[in-house]
Structure 1
Amino acid sequence: MSFDDHTPLLRVQNLVKEFKQSARKQFRAVDDVGFDLSQRETLGVVGESGSGKSTTARMVARLIDPTSGSIEFQGEDVTTRTGAALRHFRGNVQVVFQDPYSSLNPRHTVEQIISAPLRYQGRKVSGGYRKAVKEAMDRVGLNPDHSARHPMQFSGGQAQRIGIARALAVEPKLVICDEAVSALDVSVQAQVLDLLRDLQREHDFSYIFVAHDLAVVRQIAHKVAVMSAGRLVEQGPRDAIFDNPQHEYTRTLLSAVPRINPEWESARKSRDEGNLTASSGN
């Protein structure tokens, strides 16, 4: 199957994940989940803790293997890839994790952390790894002169920017953000979300944004998938899900979301429409 602008960047079909609880009992954490994701698009995956959203994201990234179902990336089935083929796939799909400190090796410098995916992929970099690291740090708003520091010498927001820089170093097509801002203060969340949107406009990649906070998802997602007890109960364009939810579970989640400031919402819609027009003109 060839990949073109009409083929979804990612297509997930009938995805299932079961974990062994005992010799005779299996727990189904993800049950028959499916969705498509286009280039330059952000899918927000929401639900309560235990809903299966992070397990789904980790299967898409091939960090864990699905029990059944299929994952197609750029028109090719990557569900059972191993070895060099899996390594190549992971160069196109990167993950930003929830806790920036626990996901960054405290013994490594920022330069070692950000260059690790490049080294793992065996990428030849013009000007060397050090130059690539400094460019990546500059791209996410970090001081390139701090590349010799260690993660614990940075604030939480800065440490998460290191994680984002690491993910972007190999120029992926898809970035999976697994609760990537939930451990940050609200003001820092806003800065990181703005950064993620800016980077998407500059580099045309797609996001899967996993979160339990619907107010955050509304700020960044183009479409939303709602999960409950391992199943996908509702999905659709962001505004359709927020303005006219069809499933009772979605309505329950939304009832806990603080009211959106009307002036902010109007500005957000105008910005999104402008971005869509700009993308259509490219």
Structure 2
Amino acid sequence: MSDTVTPLLSATALSKEFRTGRKEVFTAVEGVSFDVHRRQTLGIVGESGSGKSTTARMIARLIDPTSGSIEFQGEEITQRSGAALRDFRSGVQVVFQDPYSSLNPRHTVEEVVSAPLRYQKRNVAGGYRRMVKAAMERVGLNPDHSGRYPRQFSGGQAQRIGIARALIVEPKLVICDEAVSALDVSVQAQVLELLVDLQRERDISYVFIAHDLAVVRQIAHKVAVMQKGRIVEQGPRDEIFDDPQHEYTKTLLSAVPSIDPRWDAGRRT
């Protein structure tokens, strides 16, 4: 089967429960299923508390699902641990929302970006410095600044450090968990352009988590809409945006700003 037919990642009936007391259980995600194909971006949207980030952390195996299945490149990964889990993480990396809190402030950029290489115990001829500088240069950072600390960079630059860290192990899938929501609009556009360019160059797939539908429309090929831990609608981007079927999706879209007042009036109607 071709790459466009066989998903890179498949999530089937994923659920996650958290125990909040001796008998109380909170269901954060329930019965979520979706596919992510090679060289494509799946946008997962919804308001705060809809289960987007919990879903992202499950497919990255940062937390374990309560039930359900995750397949990556055709192999079940929900039960992996130890070296097998480390191998999986060489193919899947995460870019987090707040670049400063996700980058160790006590480590230099060189140490931060090379961390996945050390975690995966990769031996690199001549050390990691050459690879770190190449990754920094590709994301638009000055490689001569690899000895600086994250707080010495702007928010947009710090997010580029996070992207460089994700790229250093050449992953197949990058999960962007609200990766541009903390940035101002002009910097958002630059980071989105970088992500799109990297996808074309390296055949990367993305799971792009966001509450901002205007941002998702710029980058996603497919969209899944989450509400209260469930996917209520999913499909190709243009179908979701141009002809939404679920009332919740329509409500989300009605809140997206438009520069065309006629379109805004039509949506409100």
Does the pair score TM above 0.5? Answer: yes
Q: Which residue of 2 aligns with 1:136?
A: 135
Report the more deviating stretch, 214-223 or 117-126.
117-126
Distance 1:122 1:144, change over 3 A: same
Q: Equivalences for 1:110-259 in 2 at 5 Å?
A: 110-259=109-258
Secondary structure at the aligned position of 2:135 is classed as helix
Matched AA of 1:133: V
Ranges of 4+ aligned residues in structure 1 off by more than 3 Å: none
Q: Which residue of 1 aligns with 2:29?
A: 30
CA distance in 2, matches of 1:144, 1:165: 11
Q: Which residue of 1 aligns with 2:264?
A: none
Secondary structure at the aligned position of 1:161 is classed as helix
Secondary structure at the aligned position of 2:90 is classed as helix
Matched AA of 1:7: T
Secondary structure at the aligned position of 2:64 is classed as coil
Secondary structure at the aligned position of 1:106 is classed as coil
Distance 1:31 1:260, change over 3 A: farther
CA distance in 2, matches of 1:254, 1:27: 28
Q: Which residue of 2 aligns with 1:277?
A: none
CA distance in 2, matches of 1:22, 1:116: 36
Q: Equivalences for 1:9-24 in 2 at 5 Å?
A: 9-24=8-23
Q: Which residue of 2 aligns with 1:59?
A: 58
User: Percent same amino acid among aligned pairs?
Assistant: 77
Q: State the 1:259 CA deviation.
A: 1.7
Secondary structure at the aligned position of 2:183 is classed as coil
CA distance in 2, matches of 1:126, 1:165: 19
Q: Any idea what the Cα deviations from partners look like across 1:197-231, whole Å, max 9, x if unmatched?
A: 00110000100000000000000000000000000
CA distance in 2, matches of 1:65, 1:253: 29
How many pairs does the alignment contain? 260
Q: TM-score, normalised by structure 1?
A: 0.90
CA distance in 2, matches of 1:120, 1:260: 47
Q: TM-score, normalised by structure 2?
A: 0.95
Q: Any idea what the Cα deviations from partners look like across 1:170-215, whole Å, max 9, x if unmatched?
A: 0000000000000001100000000000011000010000000000
Give the CA RMSD over aligned residues. 1.3
Q: Equivalences for 1:59-98 in 2 at 5 Å?
A: 59-98=58-97
Unaligned runs of 5+ in 2: 261-269
CA distance in 2, matches of 1:106, 1:142: 18
Secondary structure at the aligned position of 2:34 is classed as strand
Distance 1:4 1:128, change over 3 A: farther
Q: State the 1:125 CA deviation.
A: 2.4
CA distance in 2, matches of 1:246, 1:171: 38
Unaligned runs of 5+ in 1: 262-282
